[in-house]
Amino acid sequence: MICCMDKWSKKIDFLLSVIGFAVDLGNVWRFPYICYQNGGGAFLIPYVLMAVFGGVPLFYMELALGQFHRTGAISIWKHICPIFKGIGFAICVIALYVSFYYNTIIAWALFYFYSSFSSTLPWTSCDNAWNTENCTNYFGKDNVTWTNYSRSPAEEFYTRNVLELHESSGLGNVGVIRWQLMLCLFLIFTIVYFSLWKGVKTSGKVVWVTATLPYVVLFILLIRGATLPGAWRGVVFYLQPKWEKLQETSVWVDAAAQIFFSLGPGFGVLLALSSYNPFTNNCYRDAIVTSLVNCLTSFVSGFVIFTVLGYMAEQRHVSVEDVAKNKGPSLLFITYPEAIANMMGSTFFAIIFFVMMITLGLDSTFGGLEAIITAVMDEYPDVLTHRRELFVLGLVVVFFLWSQGGAYVVKLLEEFGVGSSIIAVVFLEATAVSWFYGINRFSNDIKAMLGYTPGLFWKVCWVAISPAFLAVSKYDSLLNPSPLTLFDYRFPDWSITVGYIIGISSFMWIPIYMVYKLVWTPGSLKQVSHVTVDAPKSRSLLTFIQNTLV
């Protein structure tokens, strides 16, 4: 049970916390890029289908599991299927990796926020100490030649002043720690600690600001972007459908991956947050509402980004495709700041933009850390029940110390620390719940909370469709690995090996715990299997499927 029986003060606190977790920086930087890369408006078809048949059912499943069993990602498996308890440990390890790199990105945003308090933004010109002869400022100037060697002031500010990549030779020598970034990281973790140290009663109040403010800023930036010259070019590029793309398997896999990482099942956050709900809370409605908000936010963010990219293309006298090459953090730390620097009222728009980034990041951090806190405290209540403040402080200190690796470590953890591992974990989670715990038992649990059982659609998705789309995504990620690069730096082969070790280090707890459970539980293998796995008693797969759908 939940330590100290903590509960949300209000229903809206829970909803804002879930929305804040699900709507993160990835909605702003990943969805627009994935959308235009995979057919523009045509991409919305596989995106919606993957959301309906894959993402939302898994989202609903986790909210229901957390609310019914009222415990975190580790202890919950005592009630579902004990032999799969290693899934809970794997989830916590993945959450650790996310915290190591994600808060570093928020610290970069805080550094930009501080740097924005200037009448002239420091990434506006090429007259700074960190600039090189390749720095090319084309805004407001005619006959400027842009070559493959040209670098914008915003790019050099990010790579040479913020990250200082020129001081490092790569992952083998990441350079020295910048005290300015370390201070920003310290401030971020200070905010995180005092938001989480008392539990959901404090974090539930903080999200009133961190979950709502980004929408105010998005609306302001959307209006400003729509009034810029050339904005229409960006919108057309963003949404113009390329129907032939729908014939490519990679487009459907990208849609599945995008909706999965956007909604965020498998990170233990939904289990943790919903475990503080009243038993009869309508988790079905919560799943539908929050999923819709998440998807619509991603869609609107595309307009915010691409109106600005259209403006930049107009200023550079190039196509939108030529300025839309940046993805990931570079889109938020180079492309968008570059456009802001050349707008009227640039200081104001820079400040609110990076406030939005900070608040989007903090919401997801709150959720990720709460998942770890709830899971561990529920697993060891006798030790940690009355020591939450100290436990949270210890976690925050560990995260702070391990978040000093810089851009190369961030890229490595982002690629290997989450990626394929979390897809495999959620696949096993969905399989364990639907096939071992049993879809009928799970449906009866939902009926106990809501008064009615889920419909046939949800059962089919949980038993077959959602696990299938996870399996396909996992297969594609293993079959078609993309080269790991950061700007002009290509990660060496040994670092890829390290990356795979990082990925395995989370997933390995699942088979390790299975072996432990089988070895140490008294009785024969058959008896242990009956104790640890409430397997279906159907004699055939067909019979079992028929029974689960009744």
Q: What is the pLDDT of residues 179-225, one digit of tens each?
A: 999 999 999 999 999 999 888 878 888 889 888 999 999 999 999 99
**417 annotated as ligand-binding:** no
Residue 545 reports pLDDT greater than 50: no
Q: Are 14 and 276 in contact (CB under 8 A)?
A: yes
**137 annotated as ligand-binding:** no
pLDDT at position 251 is 85
Instruction: Mention every residue, 6+ apart, whose C-beta is less than 8 A from residue 507.
Output: 90, 421, 424, 425
Residue 433 to residue 458: CA distance in whole angstroms: 13
Token digits of residue 506: 């989370």
**363 annotated as ligand-binding:** yes
**23 annotated as ligand-binding:** yes
**262 annotated as ligand-binding:** yes
**175 annotated as ligand-binding:** no
Question: Per-residue pLDDT averaged across 469-475, rounded?
Answer: 83
pLDDT at position 511 is 94
Q: What is the pLDDT of residues 266-283, one digit of tens each?
A: 899 999 999 999 999 999
pTM: predicted TM-score of the whole model, two decimal places: 0.89
**22 annotated as ligand-binding:** yes
One-character DSSP codes across 92-138: HHHHHHHHHHHHHHHHHHHHHHHHT-SSS-TTS-S-STT--TTB---
Helices assigned H by DSSP within 432-492: 439-450, 456-460, 466-479
Residue 475 to residue 420: CA distance in whole angstroms: 9
One-character DSSP codes across 246-303: GG-HHHHHHHHHHHHHHH-TTSSHHHHHHTTS-TT--HHHHHHHHHHHHHHHHHHHHH
**27 annotated as ligand-binding:** yes
Token digits of residue 406: 């810089």
Residue 346 to residue 458: CA distance in whole angstroms: 48
**20 annotated as ligand-binding:** yes
Residue 175 to residue 318: CA distance in whole angstroms: 36
Question: When comparing pLDDT for 187 and 476, which is higher?
Answer: 187
